[in-house]
Structure 1
Amino acid sequence: MKVLITGSNGLLGQHLIPLFSKDSRYEVIATGRGANRLPNQDGYLYEPANLRDSSSVNQLLQKHQPDIVIHAAAMTQVDDCERNKDACWDCNVNATRYLLQAAEKSKSFFIFLSTDFVFDGLQGPYSEEDAVNPISYYGATKVAAERLVQNSHLSWSIVRTVLVYGIAADPKRSNIITWVKTNLEQGKKLKVVDDQWRTPTLVQDLAAGCKLVADKKATGIYHISGSETLTPYQMAVQTAGYFQLNPQLLEKVDAKTFTQPAKRPAKTGFVISKAVQELGYQPHSFEEGLQIVAKEI
């Protein structure tokens, strides 16, 4: 079975590729912008493609005829999306449209990665049945792309996730754990938000969830995240404790402290019982996630 993974240079892509490559049932085609930036380039084929160009997308899918498409590529920096709306729409909506149109010709099973930012954050944690109501442009583009997927003529699955953390091959990419660790080691004080709630997701768990969806060709919407509802401040305190760093350097603040172009939903997080029951999904605790990230660091 051929699986095409978009956004292969991104954090999730870097964990999806080895997971699928190790499974002899799958032949993996990875695609991203420009050169392959992954340290391990064995066991799969890499094809650069511009997903914002319909002919580039058509050529890619015509050539490989994938059985499964996992569309993980996106513009995800929420403030950048607010500042550069045209680029955000192009990356998140138009690219999805081109992929769907091309995938309809090869009758691929389509897995689309989405986000908790499709919700307004007034009544989290959310289940798959809850109504979407985005409050940022990024969230609005993901809702628009979800609708394209739902209205396509393909078998599809939408995998929504929350605040993904883990180690990427690119050392410049930080996440909440590396950000807290690096700053506290340098003795820097950090202001960390304590009035936003999430169910943080270890990237290995998200990749495993996507593979469960692919293996079962499970259709519909699935919420794949961690199971604990935490604030960024609580995550920072746990991180400081794990690495035996000074928690006194962490200052608890509310979101109003920061001026950001995009609004963030206050309380999201996911109810993951559907994924647990239907897919056999079992996420790590945040404490276990810390241990895994510490080993990788």
Structure 2
Amino acid sequence: MTKILITGANGLLGQKLVQLYEEKSNVEVIATGRGENRNLPGSYLYIPMDVTSKEEVSEVISSHKPDVVINTAALTHVDQCELDPNTCWALNVTAVEHLIKACKETDSFFVQLSTDFIFDGENGPYREENLPNPLSKYAESKLASERLLESSNLNYSVVRTMLVYGIVQDMSRSNIILWVKKSLEDNKSIKVVNDQWRTPTLAEDLAKGCALIAGKRSKGVFHISGKDLLTPYEMAIATADFFQLDKSLIEEVDGSIFTQPAKRPRKTGFILDKARAELGYEPVSFKEGLAILKSQLSYA
């Protein structure tokens, strides 16, 4: 029986990991997060834990001694990180320091989530070995957490991902697909940029990638994302087509019309050769991801 502790279990990726492991009889899950449990009932154990508290992290990990810790807890709102760098650093870097220290004491394998935003977007799509050049406080914090692990002597893996979409249990979080769908259903015109490129990632695929790494204890850096390189405008058009909504309401614009505190990389996207070869990872297409979301919405 493998014991896996998940931080940020109330978030999108955290919930998908809890669901994925519920289907596996050989895994014992300790789900942790801030506040009340927002997951569906299951066989896992839920424990409130604030990753920014050194004492709470130490107590929970030392008492449960997990084989693997998957850290999905983070402040991922890019502009919020720019405006509040102290909170950003506390959640994305200091918390990782606490987790590394606790994992060393229990000899736990550590899986850390990171981001495409560590790259400047000048030469995407990117491989794992490409050199980072962060443009924002958020990106700097995630790169700093990677550097902490590099110098930690811990058995670890870094999972870089991007533009994760999916549905949480209580529908409390939106994403580009849900936003486009609702706007068009409400007959609202929307402006969507067509000069930034990403490989959008279905949350279930990201959970699958993390689970493959955890199961194999695969060390090092892995790029885990979707397979289709798209602009937000192309995603919006594909969403309108899929749900048979009026795409004439979607206006194609470039990013210069939006004033955002944090700078975004222009073209990222990931090359997935390493994850395919070493993990057997294979993501769904964007269209397949839309179909999965639709099926989930029908009983949400």
Give the alignment's TM-score, normalised by structure 2: 0.98
Q: Secondary structure at 2:102's aligned position in 1?
A: helix
Partner letter of residue 185 of structure 2?
Answer: E
Residue aligning to 2:243? 243
Distance in 1 of aligned mates of 2:205 and 2:266:
24
Mapping for residues 69-108 of structure 1, pairs under 5 Å:
69-108=69-108
Mapping for residues 256-295 of structure 1, pairs under 5 Å:
256-295=256-295
Mapping for residues 191-202 of structure 1, pairs under 5 Å:
191-202=191-202
Residue aligning to 1:28? 29
- The Cα shift of 1:41 comes to 2.1
Residue aligning to 2:119? 119
Residue aligning to 2:11? 10
Distance in 2 of aligned mates of 1:198 and 1:249:
22
In the TM superposition, structure 1's runs of 4+ consecutive aligned residues that sit over 6 Å from their partners are: none
Distance in 2 of aligned mates of 1:188 and 1:82:
29
Distance in 2 of aligned mates of 1:124 and 1:143:
17
Partner letter of residue 2 of structure 1?
Answer: K
Residue aligning to 2:51? 51
Partner letter of residue 26 of structure 1?
Answer: V
Number of positions where the alignment pairs a residue of Structure 1 with one of Structure 2: 296
Distance in 2 of aligned mates of 1:172 and 1:193:
25
Q: Secondary structure at 1:41's aligned position in 2?
A: coil
Distance in 2 of aligned mates of 1:234 and 1:68:
38
TM-align CA RMSD: 0.7
Distance in 2 of aligned mates of 1:163 and 1:52:
25
Distance in 1 of aligned mates of 2:222 and 2:157:
7
Residue aligning to 2:232? 232
- The Cα shift of 1:261 comes to 0.4
Residue aligning to 1:161? 161
Partner letter of residue 13 of structure 1?
Answer: G
More displaced 10-residue stretch of structure 1: 134-143 or 16-25:
16-25
Distance in 2 of aligned mates of 1:58 and 1:108:
13
- The Cα shift of 1:147 comes to 0.6
Distance in 2 of aligned mates of 1:43 and 1:281:
26
More displaced 10-residue stretch of structure 1: 81-90 or 167-176:
167-176
- The Cα shift of 1:50 comes to 1.3
Q: Secondary structure at 1:160's aligned position in 2?
A: strand
Q: Deviations over 1:22-48 (max 9, x none)?
A: 21221100100011112x121100000
Partner letter of residue 152 of structure 1?
Answer: S
Distance in 2 of aligned mates of 1:231 and 1:211:
28
Residue aligning to 1:133? 133
Distance in 2 of aligned mates of 1:171 and 1:68:
29
Partner letter of residue 18 of structure 2?
Answer: I
Q: Deviations over 1:56-113 (max 9, x none)?
A: 1100111101110000100000000001110000000000000000100000000001
- The Cα shift of 1:162 comes to 1.1
Q: Deviations over 1:197-252 (max 9, x none)?
A: 00000111000011110111111100000111000000000000001111100000
Distance in 2 of aligned mates of 1:240 and 1:73:
32
Distance in 1 of aligned mates of 2:47 and 2:150:
27
User: Mind listing any 5+ residue stretches in structure 1 that lack a counterpart?
Assistant: none
Distance in 1 of aligned mates of 2:18 and 2:187:
37
Q: Secondary structure at 1:18's aligned position in 2?
A: helix
- The Cα shift of 1:170 comes to 3.0
Identity %: 54
Q: Secondary structure at 1:198's aligned position in 2?
A: coil
Distance in 1 of aligned mates of 2:199 and 2:89:
26
Give the alignment's TM-score, normalised by structure 1: 0.99
Residue aligning to 2:142? 142
User: Mind listing any 5+ residue stretches in structure 2 that lack a counterpart?
Assistant: none
